[in-house]
Homo-oligomer: A and B are copies of this chain.
């Protein structure tokens, strides 16, 4: 089986390493950077690297597109005429419905596209951050579309499991986006808003403890990527922010009213819900 990884950044590079480690010998890399490809070959991540997708794509059975969200549909459109019949494409994007809509408009019927979301990001960028062990124990989501063949879905699920993912769950694109807006994108919104607060200063660290450090970690954000992720999911994200604000306002009210009983009730609910999860 010939596998191409398109885009050897931190995620693509990690997949390449993971697939090699899992025993796949025919993993090829496609990247705009010659030096990235050289690094990938030298580190044994890929068998060979190509700057021109045209030179290799027609021989690939699986094509994992690890590009920025807005680059995926244009990539498919550009190379749709050379894709091997029956080949399986897949992505690693953190939003689904908008990407599926764009890709579906250009996808040839001779290939299958399994939309997937490996859930283990990184603040790092580029191939130097690639490390397949990051996926060990991580979860992934697959968002099937009506045209997917069951065999294609199962192949991608198998590859994920083989490189260390724990749970690989199928979920509808709409539900994916709604939940990701809540559990991931909202966290980034909050972290960024905290760091950008006018209260932030050079002295902040004199006062800060663990919780501030943890909560602001993801404010060191890849803005190029996350602006695309946010805007491709902006309706769901705005809804998540509104649900959050409902709870924020409830807490503000207890402060304004000096209402200890209500505040304790709110804390009790949070404690009990958090403990159900972890």
A interface residue numbers (CB < 8 A to B): 119-121, 138-139, 141, 167, 169, 171, 176, 178-180, 182-184, 186-200, 202-221, 223-224, 226-228, 230-231, 234, 237-238, 240-241, 243-248, 250-252, 254-256, 258, 260, 263-264, 266-271, 273-278
Contact = CB atoms under 8 A, between A and B. Distances in A.
A248 B243 contact: no
14 contacts: A183-B207, A184-B207, A184-B211, A195-B273, A196-B266, A199-B243, A204-B277, A208-B277, A214-B214, A215-B215, A221-B270, A230-B254, A230-B255, A231-B258
A221 B119 contact: no
Contacts of A278: 213, 216-217, 220
Contacts of A244: 193-194, 197
Contact of A220 (B169, B266, B274): B274
A138 to B, nearest CB: 8
A119 to B, nearest CB: 5
A115 to B, nearest CB: 15
Contacts of A205: 277
Given A214-B214, A221-B267, A238-B255, 19 more contacts: A119-B207, A139-B207, A183-B208, A184-B211, A193-B244, A196-B247, A198-B246, A199-B240, A200-B273, A211-B217, A216-B274, A217-B274, A219-B274, A220-B271, A220-B275, A223-B264, A227-B263, A230-B255, A238-B256
A227 B182 CA distance: 26
Given A183-B204, A211-B218, A241 B252 contact: yes
A212 B277 CA distance: 11
A101 to B, nearest CB: 16
Contacts of A207: 119, 139, 141, 176, 179-180, 182-184
Contact of A198 (B139, B184, B223, B243): B243
A214 B212 contact: no
Given A179-B207, A207-B180, A209-B121, A195 B227 contact: no
Contact of A193 (B192, B216, B247): B247
A192 B251 contact: yes
Contacts of A176: 207
A190 B190 contact: yes
B204 A194 contact: no
A213 to B, nearest CB: 6
A271 B193 contact: no
